């Protein structure tokens, strides 16, 4: 009887999602959510990790040369996004990609001689992105506002706002609480035509 009980408990353990070691070597996102604690959402995969703490989502890549944070200014209905990368070239984030880079709303920028430049693009192909204003002449303009930007000690940091409720074919739904694919990349110099030297992606929950 005791032996039967032991076999039964062992089988339950194997079938349960939390079975020890089950997630260990998987390269897909590991998602967890805990209610009532400070961390409300966590996602981890081979390119980095994302955590929501105090209504702020923070992604850090594994190599330690990129970080993105996203939070909301609820009164003004804005997303506030900070992008920080170890480069004197461009830094970029993308939301909602389907395959490789395709279908992502991309925000890409750099700081040159102390002045920021920020562009709103959309990925029309697996490895191709174009300015939204070129793809849709009626798309809302001046959607991005730079709040802070600097290039210092080999790092480029750009903080900007984007209205939450943007409407149009090339804007993604960035409302709080939504699950969305996120990607980032870093360029070696300020040329937006040149490919990234670092990139990554993860599925996140907007804070
Ligand atoms: C500047 C122009 C860009 C070029 C020419 C370019 C080119 C490419 C190419 C050729 C690939 C295929 C895989 C590889 O060779 O690494 C790729 C993959 C990728 N790119 Fe870009 N890219 C550009 C911009 C961006 C931007 C701005 C982002 C993010 C905001 C991005 C994110 C990614 C990601 C996440 C992948 C990997 C997709 C996968 O492996 O599934 N790229 N890119």
% of the chain residues with pLDDT over 70:
82
Q: How far is the CA of 133 from the centre of ligand 1 (A)?
A: 21
Q: How far is CA 35 from the centre of its chain?
A: 22
Does the domain formed by 45-205 have CATH 2.60.40.1210? Answer: yes
pLDDT for residue 36 = 56
| pLDDT (tens digit per residue) in 9-68 | 444 433 333 333 222 333 445 566 665 557 899 999 999 999 999 999 999 999 999 999
Burial of 151 (0-12, 13-18, 19+ CB in 10 A): buried
Residue 48 vs residue 6, higher pLDDT: 48
| Token pair for 121 | 């693009």
Residue 82 near residue 68, CB atoms below 8 Å: yes
Q: Which residue, judged by its Cα, is nearest atom 33 of ligand 1? A: 101
pLDDT for residue 25 = 32
Q: Which residue, judged by its Cα, is nearest atom 28 of ligand 1? A: 185
Taking CA 28 as the corner, what is the angle to CA 34 and CA 101, rounded to the nearest 5 degrees? 110
Residue 118 vs residue 25, higher pLDDT: 118
Q: How far is the CA of 36 from the centre of ligand 1 (A)?
A: 38
Cα 162 from Cα 48, distance rounded (Å)? 24
pLDDT for residue 126 = 97
Smallest Cα–Cα separation from 72: which of 62, 64, 82, 85?
Answer: 82
pLDDT for residue 38 = 75
In the chain, the largest separation of any two C-alpha atoms, in whole Å, equals: 78
Half-sphere exposure of 140 (CA within 13 A, CB side): 12
Bridge pairing between strands 128-131 and 66-73: unpaired
Pocket test for ligand 1, best of 99, 198, 199 (most atoms within 8 A of CB): 199
Tell me which residues have their CB closer than 6 angstroms to ligand 1.
92-94, 100-101, 106, 108, 127, 129, 183-185, 192, 195-196, 199, 201
pLDDT for residue 39 = 87
| Residue 86 DSSP class | S
Comparing 18-22, 64-68, 101-105, 131-135, which segment has the lowest mean pLDDT? 18-22
Model confidence at 157: pLDDT above 50: yes
- Which atom of ligand 1 is nearest the CA belonging to 93? 30
Mean pLDDT of 187-201: 96
Whole-number average pLDDT of the chain: 87
SS3 38: coil
Q: How far is the CA of 107 from the centre of ligand 1 (A)?
A: 13
Q: How far is the CA of 174 from the centre of ligand 1 (A)?
A: 21
Q: How far is the CA of 64 from the centre of ligand 1 (A)?
A: 19
């Amino acid at each position: 009887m005791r032996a039967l009980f032991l076999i039964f408990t062992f089988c339950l353990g194997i079938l349960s999602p939390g079975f020890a070691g089950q997630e260990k070597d998987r390269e897909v996102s590991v998602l967890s959510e805990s209610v009532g604690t400070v961390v409300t959402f966590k996602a981890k995969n081979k390119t980095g990790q994302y955590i929501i703490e105090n209504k702020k989502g923070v992604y850090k890549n594994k190599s330690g040369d990129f970080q993105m944070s996203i939070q909301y200014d609820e009164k003004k209905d804005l997303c506030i996004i900070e992008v920080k990368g170890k480069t004197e070239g461009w830094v970029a984030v993308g939301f909602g990609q389907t395959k490789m880079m395709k279908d992502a709303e991309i925000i890409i920028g750099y700081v040159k001689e102390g002045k920021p430049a920020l562009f709103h693009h959309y990925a029309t192909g697996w490895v191709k992105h174009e300015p939204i204003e070129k793809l849709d002449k009626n798309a809302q303009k001046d959607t991005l506002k730079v709040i802070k930007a600097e290039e210092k000690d080999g790092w480029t940091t750009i903080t900007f706002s984007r209205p939450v409720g943007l409407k149009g074919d090339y804007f993604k739904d960035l409302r709080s609480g939504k699950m969305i694919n996120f990607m980032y990349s870093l360029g070696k110099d300020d040329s937006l035509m040149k490919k990234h030297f670092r990139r990554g992606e993860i599925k996140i929950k907007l804070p």
